[in-house]
Structure formats: C-alpha cells, structure tokens
C-alpha cells in the first residue's frame, strides 16, 4: 500500500449512446459507444486505504453517502483490493466540479476518478484500458472518462475485452468542437439511467433495432471523425440520440425523458439549421436537458438564438477535455 492519492477525471457526452447491458453483473454494454470528454466538468477523488475503519466510507461534497451509490464505490474498491492483494477498507472523499446547472451526470467522472485514485493508492500500476475496465464496474459511462477527447468503449464479451480507448479525429475537429449544455431542469429524474436502460432492454420492441442502429451509426461516425467532418459527426450524433429515446417510448411501461421544452428545442434547432445553415446538432441523455454540438465560430450565434427562444434555460458552454490526472495527497486541489 502506498500514499493516499487524488485523481481527477472529466465527464463525457456520448455521441453514440450506451443504452442497455448484455451482462449487468460484468457491466457489459449491449453496444459499442463513443463519447467526447468535456473540459469544464470533472470530479476530484481522494482514496486512502486504512485498517482503522471497518467498512468503506464515501463522502461526496462533504455529504456521507450510503446505499446504492456506496455499493458501486465498494464494487470498484473490491476489484482494486483483489488485484493488489489487500483487504483494508478505504476512505473515499470526492468533490464534484460538475455544476448542477450543466445538467450533466457526474457518475462518469466520479467512477473514473475513483478507479484511478484507488488503483494508485493501492500501489497498482494500471494502463488506461485496465483503468477503464475498473471504472466500468462503477458505472458504464465512466469507462469512457479515463481518456480525453473522442473515446470509444468496445462492448467486448467479457471483463478483459470491455474497455475504452481514444479515437483519432482530423484537426481541427477536436480543438474547435463545442458543447452547449441547455438546462431546463436540475431535478433528479424519475427513472435513473440504470433502471431506464434495463427496462428498455427487457421490454422495448425497438431494442433490437436500437442496437443495430448504434452499430451502424458507429460504423459511419469513425470515418467522419477521421475526416474531421463536423456536419457528418453532428448528424450521426443527433440521429443516434433520437433513436435511443425512441426505444424508451416502445418500452413496457413506456416512458420518456423528454419534457415539452426538450422537444421544442430539438425541433427548433433542426428548423434553424435547415433555414440558416448553422452547424448545430442536438443530443440528449437520460434526462430532459439538451446538449448542442457546434463549432467554436458558431457559439455566439447559438447563444443568441437560445436567449431569444429559450430565455429561461441555463446555458453552459464547454469544449473537449483531457483524460485522468493525479495529484499527491496534501496538495490542495481546487
Ligand atoms: C444516456 O453510465 O449512468 O448517458 O452503467 O447503469 O451506471 P450505468 O449507467 P450510466 O448510463 C449512461 C447512459 C447515457 C448514455 C451514455 O452515456 O452513453
């Protein structure tokens, strides 16, 4: 066992969504997914293994956490303990820098930071694919938050083959892609992503079509990234997100994460894009908020359009972010 360790991981937004597990125990997704790691939203996590406590302790933003979220943390820690051959419980201290106003889930950054900090604190030297497999045990989307930029999660068929890796994109795509988060609600959703995807996979008649669509979208997205073709990337991402949400409508019982404002924004953006030729595309996760994909030169126009049409929505702009980083314990992180 070595010194306590801080790690930082950034959250990500999926362009090809992960929606459905083929093995909930191993956390294997039904389909490959692909995301963009984001610059401004991250989690810092400190892990310290110690025999002076009886069970794992987890505090997030100074609040003690128990129940299911603690169980996910322990799942990651158990794997670290097994790999390192140790038994000590851990004290886990996390700080989220994912503004509620961004409407982005923090489980991706949280579990990725945990995996990196815990491995380091246990004296393990793991490469990024191994860290992504560890993060996967906490939350699927965390698999993609070990690396920066565009990241693909290979679904795989067992623990060893289900991991993420960076995907190259022709310049200047990575440098000038922007994500404009438009927040209508920062309330916790009625159906979390774990439960929502489980219901969709188990009951939606559109689920087989969704997994086929996701594979086809990824097949088209990889060359679009390779060519640095933002318009293609945006079109594929928007279509993929709407296909995922279509599958929830066909679940039993049916459900949707959309609020009326979600649909109004997605349709409004499509009409504006078609009439004015502005390259802006929508993607939506397991909640009512919309993330718009655009390029740096168009951010100001997008903000003006949002202020005119959705004056009450909160808007946060970010760009591509890095993979995990480490800080020695004792050094203050902001
Ligand atoms: C819609 O990673 O939160 O954001 O693996 O059950 O913890 P669990 O789910 P989670 O699901 C993310 C779903 C999504 C799409 C995506 O990020 O790919």
How far, in Å, CA of 261 to CA of 272, rounded?
16
Ligand 1 atom showing the smallest separation from residue 27 Cα: 5
Centroid of chain to Cα 13: 5
pLDDT bracket for residue 332 (50, 70, 90): low
Share of the chain above pLDDT 90, in %: 91
Alpha carbon of 202 to ligand 1 centroid (Å): 16
> 298, 309, 303, 308: which is closest to 276 by C-alpha?
298
* Section 321-330 average pLDDT: 88
pLDDT at 333 over 60: no
Residues having CB within 6 Å of any atom of ligand 1: 14, 17-19, 33, 105, 107, 139-141, 193-194, 285-286
**Sequence-separated (6 or more) residues with CB below 8 Å from residue 186:** 100, 101, 103
Residue closest via CA to ligand 1's atom 7 equals 139
Q: What angle do CA 97, 228, 209 make, to 5 degrees?
A: 80
* Section 66-84 average pLDDT: 97
From the CB of residue 274, how many other CB atoms can be counted at a distance below 10 Å?
9
Q: What angle do CA 229, 234, 240 make, to 5 degrees?
A: 125
Mutate to test the pocket of ligand 1, among 75, 139, 140 (most ligand atoms within 8 A of CB): 140
How far, in Å, CA of 135 to CA of 119, rounded?
10
More confident residue, 249 or 332: 249
From the CB of residue 13, how many other CB atoms can be counted at a distance below 10 Å?
24
Ligand 1 atom showing the smallest separation from residue 29 Cα: 5
What confidence score (pLDDT) does residue 190 get?
86
Alpha carbon of 106 to ligand 1 centroid (Å): 10
How far, in Å, CA of 231 to CA of 290, rounded?
18
What confidence score (pLDDT) does residue 4 get?
85
Mean of the per-residue pLDDT values of the chain = 95
Residue closest via CA to ligand 1's atom 5 equals 140
Q: How many CA atoms lie within 13 A of 315 on its CB side?
A: 21
What confidence score (pLDDT) does residue 189 get?
82
pLDDT in tens, 1-55: 568 889 999 999 999 999 999 999 999 999 999 999 999 999 999 999 999 999 9
* Section 212-221 average pLDDT: 98
CB 153 within 8 A of CB 29: yes
What confidence score (pLDDT) does residue 2 get?
66
What confidence score (pLDDT) does residue 45 get?
96
What confidence score (pLDDT) does residue 113 get?
98
Alpha carbon of 17 to ligand 1 centroid (Å): 8
């Amino acid at each position: 066992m070595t010194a306590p360790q801080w790690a930082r991981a950034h959250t990500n937004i999926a362009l090809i969504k992960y929606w459905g597990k083929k093995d909930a125990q191993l956390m294997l997704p039904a389909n490959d997914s692909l995301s963009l790691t984001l610059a401004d939203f991250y989690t810092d996590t400190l892990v310290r293994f110690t025999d002076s406590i009886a069970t794992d302790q987890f505090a997030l933003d100074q609040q003690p956490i128990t129940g299911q979220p603690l169980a996910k943390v322990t799942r990651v820690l158990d794997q670290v303990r097994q790999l390192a051959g140790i038994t000590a419980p851990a004290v886990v201290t996390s700080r989220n820098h994912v503004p509620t106003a961004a409407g982005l889930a923090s489980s991706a950054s949280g579990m990725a930071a945990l995996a990196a900090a815990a491995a380091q604190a246990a004296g393990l030297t793991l490469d990024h694919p191994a860290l992504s497999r560890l993060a996967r045990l906490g939350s699927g989307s965390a698999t993609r938050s070990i690396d920066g930029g565009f990241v693909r999660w290979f679904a795989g068929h067992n623990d060893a083959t289900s991991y993420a890796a960076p995907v190259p994109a022709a310049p200047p795509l990575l440098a000038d892609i922007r994500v404009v988060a438009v927040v209508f609600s920062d309330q916790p959703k009625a159906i979390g992503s774990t439960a929502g995807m489980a219901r969709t996979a188990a009951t939606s008649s559109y689920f087989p079509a969704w997994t086929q669509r996701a594979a086809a979208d990824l097949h088209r997205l990889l060359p679009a990234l390779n060519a640095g073709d933002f318009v293609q990337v945006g079109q594929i991402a928007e279509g993929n997100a709407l296909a995922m949400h279509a599958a929830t409508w066909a679940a039993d019982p049916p459900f949707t994460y959309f609020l009326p404002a979600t649909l109004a924004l997605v349709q409004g953006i499509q009409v504006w894009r078609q009439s004015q030729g502005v390259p802006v595309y929508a993607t939506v996760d397991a909640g009512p908020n919309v993330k718009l994909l655009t390029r740096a030169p168009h951010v100001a126009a997008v903000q003006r359009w949002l202020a005119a049409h959705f004056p009450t929505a909160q808007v946060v702009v970010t760009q591509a972010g890095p993979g995990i980083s480490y800080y020695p314990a004792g050094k203050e992180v902001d």
